[in-house]
Amino acid sequence: MKKFAYLSLGLALACSSPKSDQQSFSAAQRDSLFQGEASSEEEDLTGTDLEKSLQDQGLVDIVQEIPGIQVELKYSTEDNFFKQDVYGDLTRCYLQPLAAEMLANAQKALQEEYPNLSLLVYDGVRPIRVQQILWDGLDKPDSIKPLYVSDPKIGGLHNFGVAVDLTILDLKTRKPLDMGTPFDYFGYPAYPDRELQMLAEKKITKAQVANREILRKVMKGAGFTGIGSEWWHFNAFSRKEAGDKFPLIQ
């Protein structure tokens, strides 16, 4: 059985750099985040052990909570930027209940307007132990590490279980809509903030932007916010809100 501890730098660039429109934690929040923190040593967890740990920390399996939603954890396969499986046997996506409720509203809105479409989720919660391993394994000075991976002493929104990476699936063809780039593509064609420039340079098409707009419409309508550099990433709360409401997921 594959082990959860089999992690690498492959995830370091995936939705882990500092996100826009997020606030820093207060000193009190930072102090409280690591009460009862797990050991920094790698734990030899199976997918079943990890799943139970997520459930024990109050997270929910979105497939059980959201009718019709589709899940394909990209980092539980080799179909990702670094062609490496880093989640082992985990195949179910977990989120905080409030974030899952918001995502359910987005799925409902999408299927009311487009019955042949569904949200397809690529990533949800990322336990802080994963973040720590990525941070420790990054061969960069600490001063510039946050450009590549969120500092585990602060935590990113995936680490709270309130961020989600996703696209839209055509239920008839069983293929994702064309968004102009793959998930985990790092370059301007994936930047929502650069869409006008990329259109002018013919790096993406109007049809691809229209597909992104469908995703943005249902996600923002459900209360999520996007970021400027990844069309697939959405946050249910700001950093400050997440720190006030939730513990980091171990």
Q: Specify the pairing of strand 225-226 against strand 163-170.
A: unpaired
CA distance readout (Å), 244 to 24, 46, 237: 11, 31, 10
Interhelix angle 206-221/97-113, rounded to 10 degrees, is: 130
CA distance readout (Å), 80 to 170, 186, 247: 20, 12, 28
Phi, then psi, of 31 in degrees rounded to 5: -65, -35
CA-CA-CA-CA torsion sign (64, 54, 72, 101): positive
d(CA 158, CA 127): 8
Residue 42 appears among annotated catalytic residues: no
Cβ atoms within 10 Å of 40's Cβ, excluding its own:
10
The catalytically annotated residue of 195, 213, 230, 241 is 230
Cβ atoms within 10 Å of 3's Cβ, excluding its own:
15
Residues forming the active site: 230
